[in-house]
Amino acid sequence: MTVTVRAATPADRDLVATLLTRSWGSPIVVAHGVRYDASALPALIAWNDDTPAGLLTYRVDGDGLEIVTFDALTRHQGAGTALLTAAVARAREHRATRVWLITTNDNLDALRFYQRRGLRIVAVSPGAVDESRRLKPSIPLVGDYGIEIHDELTLALTLSRDPLTE
């Protein structure tokens, strides 16, 4: 099985909304106090043959590409790594100097995944998820491994500049 990644097109709109709803309960997500309709953001879709294997939505702002949602639908088959690699390539196309994202304190598997791929924890926001529940009350109280969800962790990957292309 070979994982491929491509940018979502308007024809993928329903698929993107379905995948977001499956993973997040709806296309609406909240991070760092901001409510996003992730289905309206640019997206990358990972495929195993003709089957969706993952989805990443993002936004470019200033010097960074923020990964807003990131879901590998199949684990340990390369979809997550392929999506992250494609997001870094997209960031470079936009001349961004970093790729960053928010995750929650319970998401231990994601923290392992990101750190093994070079992202570093650059900030911890205690109580941020508690505040986000005001914008999206359906955010669960308890997450992975029975851990209460309270805090946001910001992870970032600094991209090196190539002086020959500047």
d(CA 83, CA 91): 12
pLDDT band, residue 160 (cuts 50/70/90): confident
Mean pLDDT across the stretch 17-41? 92
Q: Which domains does the chain have, with CATH numbers?
A: 3-165 (3.40.630.30)
Q: How does pLDDT run across 71-124, given as a tens digit for each residue?
A: 999 888 899 999 999 999 999 999 999 999 999 999 999 999 999 999 999 999
* Confidence at residue 75, expressed as pLDDT on a 0 to 100 scale: 84
Can you tell me whether residue 153 is helix, strand or coil? strand
* Confidence at residue 148, expressed as pLDDT on a 0 to 100 scale: 98
